[in-house]
Amino acid sequence: MIKQIITDDRLGESCISALHPSGLKILICPKTEFATAYALFGTKYGSIDTRFRIKGEEEYTDVPEGIAHFLEHKLFESEEGDAFTRFSATGGYANAYTSFDRTCYLFSCTERFEENLDILLDFVRHPYFTEATVQKEQGIIGQEIKMYDDDPAWCCFFNLLCSMYSNHPVRIDIAGTVESIAQINADLLYKCYNTFYNPSNMFLCVAGNVDPDYILDAVDKALAGVEGVEIERGTFEEQKGVLRAKVEKEMPVAMPLFNIGFKEACTPPVKTLKEKIETDILLEMLAGKSSKLYNTLLQQGLVNDRFEASYFTGHGYAVEIFEGESSEPYKVADAILGEIERIRKEGINEEDFIRAKNALYGRNIMLYNSIERVASSLVSAVMGDYAPFDVQKTFEAATLKDITDRLALQLKPERMSISVINPVKA
């Protein structure tokens, strides 16, 4: 097993990075001063992976939307019972989640870490699907889909994606639709599992009061003799511009909700850590709590403290999103466009740049006070293909010119779309 220790002297933190012969990537951040431990065992497989093949196969496999999330639900079951029961016997709290590009299984505990880790490595590696249990799950997830359909914030977000993307599967709800999950069967689940749950496409990230040597030995035992595979993901032709400039829907809300997005071209399909950090700094300058835009909108009563901006990006998609509540969402959109244009003409204020950069850098440092956030940051490092502590180094290296160059490439008015959830009319 290839292993190295990565240290950041300024933070006083160290991580162990290891690559198992099976291809599994392992990141461990021991923090013996904490009583708890947090572990995530995950795969680079999410809702956007609807077309794929293993290298050597002639044809791509197309699967129903929502199958990655469906598979996450089913993996907790086995012939002997469910994994939650096993964790409860050892005092571990277990959970899982599926996003656009990953699926993670996790637990946290204050004792009996070794037993909990063995359970995690075991149940994720042993799928059990039957047609009867699949049909039962279709009803359960169908209810979950309907629940999200009633969530105004969730609908506002996905309506934005649907207005921006015409073909990319990021426009589809992570759980799929009632119609799409009805097409899922046991054979399709095994096909997806055998493709994406290969260790060469997976990772294990652990933080807390743990023994790294035990973790590496446990992985060796669990994955002895397993060989990696190479996955080829399908591509989706996507237009540069947005599909629609605006989309509105009525739901039972007290005040209109809005998501304002600026679509980016994705060539190459994955943004670098440098691009992400620079965009985060740019958005903090534009819409952070100390920004001129935020305070002007707040004083005018056009937004409240829920107004924020974020960078939503993954394989083949990238969108800067401004979101919040407002009685006049289109006036907010005009104000955002006006502020972007003003900064383009006048240039970025150096004090604003330093303040935004320091604020984000400080927040990143603070995450090391939370075991859960440290473990999640390790997952982000694996997914982004960068080393632990590279985020801090990238923040430190960012310059005013970098952010100016980033602004010249992003936040184009012609690629803007707005999604609004309006109150139901009487």
Structural domain spans, the chain = 2-233, 246-423
Q: Strands, E, within 2-128: which ranges?
A: 2-8, 13-19, 25-30, 37-43, 51-54, 61-62, 77-78, 81-82, 93-98, 103-109
Q: Strand 25-30's sheet: what is its strand order?
A: 2-8, 13-19, 25-30, 202-208, 37-43, 103-109, 93-98
Two domains, one topology: 2-233 and 246-423: yes
Number of neighbours of residue 47 by Cβ within 10 angstroms: 23
Say whether pLDDT at 196 is over 80: yes
Say whether pLDDT at 36 is over 90: yes
Is residue 371 within 8 A of residue 208, CB to CB? The reply is yes
State the pLDDT confidence band at 269, using cuts at 50, 70 and 90. confident
Say whether pLDDT at 266 is over 90: no
CATH number of this structure's domain 246-423, picked from the four choices 3.40.50.300, 3.40.1350.10, 3.30.930.10, 3.30.830.10 = 3.30.830.10
Say whether pLDDT at 164 is over 90: yes
Q: What digits encode the pLDDT tens for the residues 114-157? A: 999 999 999 999 999 989 989 999 999 999 999 989 999 999 99
Number of neighbours of residue 45 by Cβ within 10 angstroms: 26
User: Which one of the listed residues 13, 65, 72, 278 is annotated catalytic?
Assistant: 72
Say whether pLDDT at 392 is over 80: yes
State the pLDDT confidence band at 265, using cuts at 50, 70 and 90. confident
CA 56-62-196 angle, to 5 degrees, is 60
**Mean pLDDT value across the chain:** 94
Q: What digits encode the pLDDT tens for the residues 79-126? A: 777 899 999 999 999 999 999 999 999 999 999 999 999 999 999 999
DSSP 8-state assignment for residue 201: G
Mean pLDDT, residues 372-393 = 95
How far is residue 71's CA from residue 223's CA, in Å, rounded to a whole number? 21
pTM over 0.85: yes
In the residue annotation, 320 being an active-site residue is answered as no
Look up the CATH number of domain 2-233.
Answer: 3.30.830.10
Mean pLDDT, residues 292-311 = 96
Determine which of 228-242, 272-286, 294-308, 397-411 has the lowest per-residue pLDDT on average: 228-242
Mean pLDDT, residues 169-191 = 95
State the pLDDT confidence band at 227, using cuts at 50, 70 and 90. confident
Mean pLDDT, residues 334-359 = 96
State the pLDDT confidence band at 56, using cuts at 50, 70 and 90. confident
Number of neighbours of residue 348 by Cβ within 10 angstroms: 20
| CA neighbor of 261 nearest in space, from 418, 412, 155 | 418
How far is residue 303's CA from residue 288's CA, in Å, rounded to a whole number? 13
How far is residue 108's CA from residue 143's CA, in Å, rounded to a whole number? 28
Tell me what pLDDT residue 361 has. 94
Dmax (CA) for the chain in angstroms is 66
State the pLDDT confidence band at 299, using cuts at 50, 70 and 90. very high
Mean pLDDT, residues 281-309 = 96
Q: Strand 231-233's sheet: what is its strand order?
A: 61-62, 51-54, 231-233
For 295-311, letters b (16+ CB in 10 Å) and e give eebeeeebbeeebbbeb
Tell me what pLDDT residue 81 has. 77
Tell me what pLDDT residue 83 has. 92
Task: Tell me which residue has tokens 């502020």.
Answer: 339
Is residue 66 within 8 A of residue 176, CB to CB? The reply is yes
Say whether pLDDT at 216 is over 80: yes
State the pLDDT confidence band at 234, using cuts at 50, 70 and 90. confident
How far is residue 313's CA from residue 100's CA, in Å, rounded to a whole number? 10
Tell me what pLDDT residue 325 has. 97
